[in-house]
Amino acid sequence: MSENTPTEFPASPDAELRVTLAALRTEHRNLDEQIALLDAAPTEDELQLRRLKKRKLLIKDQIARIEHQLDPDEYA
């Protein structure tokens, strides 16, 4: 390798978690909007509404886990 070749450093675990966290928050917000639209309009598709709500809860749990990894409770 020559001296002018840039060295690639692996991303830190925290940086990767923050990127994942941002993506999950965006998806959570989008699901919230979709759910609000389905709730506002009478629909026959209750199954889709339940699936969206379940997905939203799963994402909320993932967000909480990542937030805890990034900022653990040191006094526990």
Give the tokens for residue 63: 């967000």
Burial class (CB in 10 A: 0-12, 13-18, 19+), 15: exposed
**CA nearest neighbour of 53 among 34, 67, 40:** 34
pLDDT category of residue 3 using cuts at 50, 70 and 90: low
pLDDT tens figures, 14-64: 899 999 999 999 999 999 999 998 888 876 788 899 999 999 999 999 999
pLDDT category of residue 71 using cuts at 50, 70 and 90: confident
